[in-house]
């Protein structure tokens, strides 16, 4: 959606091919690099970070178009744009806490090794799948059921590709710390599965009963990430500026095919404009359903009041009933999970 919104905004001033190249080049950057560039050029404010990416960068592109900064945002044909991207990438290359985290493995300040390990962490975060995240969690929390050999080989390969001297075995503590670093960095990003990662960490930690032996507090980062994403998703979206330039262009060919194409392009622009509102409404509906369930204080499955349920069975029964009521993660409101509002007995 970000690409579609951005193209609609900048098309009036640039050719289609150039628009597409600019937007795709910007969108192919890491999320931290996109954020850094937009902040450096003052196209967004720090408080805008909580907005959904579609709205955040839609605003950024609109402001860039108004100020004539599109080439600087996306690089374009200007050396200045390329330099800004490179400068942003350099600034975002190593997380400020990563050298400290890596001291758990080696107290030696080997800059090349740290840089290589960070390259591996960045690549892992960028391409992380839900299966990777599960393997990393099993690794850092030292689960009895260890990650599969294939999962471990895939994880180690990211670091082997970054440094040919990286050991593919016999360095379990190092890979454990690197796995923790990857999860920590993912929690701070806008990655698509960050909500799932954060929720998996909070449930795995069992309210502090299980602690990962790492130099970073994953549980605290996960709770912070859940609150950040929840607040962002539950912020009422601003109606995007709707333009129908593509539809107008299609009407230049005034025949059946041209009119049909114009209607298709108009529908695409309208659907894109309302997508964020549709998601917001769906979230509100889910939260309203959950709120009624909480206020009712009664188990739908067993037909008993919450307080009458066996104390040890309450978490399982209530979680089972609540789980089907949501599809948007994380399902929190103002940083608090619905379970915090349920008065459990025992």
* pLDDT at residue number 134: 94
Taking the C-alpha atoms of residue 327 and residue 195, their distance in angstroms, rounded to an integer, is 12
- Does the pLDDT at position 205 exceed 80? yes
Residue given tokens 């955040």 in the structure block = 56
* pLDDT at residue number 211: 87
> How is residue 188 written in tokens?
């701070």
- Does the pLDDT at position 1 exceed 60? no
Mean pLDDT over each residue of the chain, to the nearest integer: 75
pLDDT band with cut points at 50, 70 and 90 for residue 345: very low
Residue 239 lies in a domain: no
Taking the C-alpha atoms of residue 299 and residue 165, their distance in angstroms, rounded to an integer, is 57
Mean pLDDT across the stretch 159-182?
92
- Does the pLDDT at position 127 exceed 50? yes
* pLDDT at residue number 101: 93
Whether residues 337 and 270 fall in one domain: yes
Q: Which of 92, 119, 142 is the endpoint of a domain?
A: 92
Whether residues 253 and 169 fall in one domain: no
User: Of 162, 160, 224, 214, nearest to 189 (Cα)?
Assistant: 224
Residues in the chain: 346
Residue 105 lies in a domain: yes
Residue 123 lies in a domain: yes
Q: Which of 41, 75, 92 is the endpoint of a domain?
A: 92
Going by C-beta distance under 8 Å and a sequence separation of 6 or more, which residues neighbour residue 183?
133, 136, 137, 140, 197, 201, 218
Range with the poorest average pLDDT among 19-23, 42-46, 96-100, 146-150: 19-23
Taking the C-alpha atoms of residue 197 and residue 203, their distance in angstroms, rounded to an integer, is 10
Going by C-beta distance under 8 Å and a sequence separation of 6 or more, which residues neighbour residue 19?
6, 7, 10, 11
> Which range marks the domain in which residue 44 is found?
2-92
Taking the C-alpha atoms of residue 202 and residue 220, their distance in angstroms, rounded to an integer, is 9
pTM of the model: 0.56
Whether residues 21 and 73 fall in one domain: yes
* pLDDT at residue number 26: 73
Whether residues 83 and 21 fall in one domain: yes
Q: 21 burial class (0-12, 13-18, 19+ CB within 10 angstroms)?
A: middle
Give the dihedral sign, CA 136/140/141/146: positive
Whether residues 217 and 283 fall in one domain: no
Whether residues 68 and 109 fall in one domain: no
* 257-277 tens-digit pLDDT: 666 776 777 777 677 767 667
* pLDDT at residue number 58: 77
148 or 21: which leads in pLDDT: 148
Task: Please give the tally of structural domains in the chain.
Answer: 3
Scored b (16 or more CB within 10 A) or e, 151-171 reads bbebbbebbeebeeebeeeee
Residue 237 lies in a domain: no
* pLDDT at residue number 312: 86
Whether residues 113 and 216 fall in one domain: yes
pLDDT band with cut points at 50, 70 and 90 for residue 69: confident
Taking the C-alpha atoms of residue 53 and residue 27, their distance in angstroms, rounded to an integer, is 11
Residue 266 lies in a domain: yes
* 85-96 tens-digit pLDDT: 444 444 346 888
* pLDDT at residue number 336: 45
Whether residues 106 and 220 fall in one domain: yes
Residue 40 lies in a domain: yes
162 or 235: which leads in pLDDT: 162
Whether residues 199 and 111 fall in one domain: yes
Taking the C-alpha atoms of residue 336 and residue 331, their distance in angstroms, rounded to an integer, is 9
Whether residues 129 and 202 fall in one domain: yes
Residue 163 lies in a domain: yes
Whether residues 268 and 324 fall in one domain: yes
Residue 240 lies in a domain: no
Whether residues 228 and 297 fall in one domain: no
* pLDDT at residue number 334: 36
Q: Which of 62, 92, 122 is the endpoint of a domain?
A: 92
* 138-170 tens-digit pLDDT: 999 999 999 999 999 999 999 999 888 898 888
User: Of 164, 100, 97, 178, nearest to 135 (Cα)?
Assistant: 178
């Amino acid at each position: 959606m970000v690409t579609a919104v951005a193209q609609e905004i900048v098309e009036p001033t640039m050719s289609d091919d150039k628009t597409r190249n600019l937007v795709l080049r910007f969108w192919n950057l890491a999320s931290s690099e996109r954020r850094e560039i937009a902040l450096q050029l003052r196209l967004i404010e720090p408080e805008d970070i909580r907005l959904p990416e579609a709205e955040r960068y839609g605003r950024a592109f609109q402001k860039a178009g108004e100020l004539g900064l599109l080439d600087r945002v996306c690089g374009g044909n200007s050396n200045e744009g390329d330099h800004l991207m490179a400068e942003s990438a350099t600034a975002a290359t190593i997380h400020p806490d990563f050298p400290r985290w890596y001291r758990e493995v080696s107290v030696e300040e080997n800059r090349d090794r740290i840089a290589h390990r960070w390259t591996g962490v960045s690549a892992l975060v960028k391409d992380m799948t839900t299966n990777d995240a599960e393997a990393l969690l099993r690794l850092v929390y030292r689960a009895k059921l260890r990650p599969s050999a294939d999962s471990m080989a895939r994880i180690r390969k990211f670091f082997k590709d970054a440094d040919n001297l990286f050991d593919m075995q016999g360095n379990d503590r190092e890979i454990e710390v690197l796995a923790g670093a990857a999860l920590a960095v993912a929690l701070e990003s806008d990655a698509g599965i960050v909500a799932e990662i954060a929720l998996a960490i909070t449930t795995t930690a069992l309210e502090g009963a299980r602690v990962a032996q790492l130099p970073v507090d994953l549980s605290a980062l996960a709770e912070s990430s859940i609150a950040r994403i929840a607040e962002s998703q539950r912020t009422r979206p601003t109606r995007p500026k709707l333009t129908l330039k593509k539809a107008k262009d299609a009407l230049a060919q005034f025949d059946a095919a041209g009119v049909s194409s114009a209607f298709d392009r108009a529908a695409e622009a309208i659907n894109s404009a309302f997508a964020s509102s549709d998601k917001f409404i769906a979230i509100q509906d889910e939260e309203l359903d959950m709120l009624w369930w909480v206020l009712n204080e009664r188990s739908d499955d067993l037909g008993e009041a919450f307080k009458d349920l066996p104390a040890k069975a309450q978490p399982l029964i209530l979680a089972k009933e609540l789980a089907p009521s949501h599809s948007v993660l994380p399902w929190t409101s103002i940083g608090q999970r619905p379970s915090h509002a349920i008065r459990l007995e025992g």
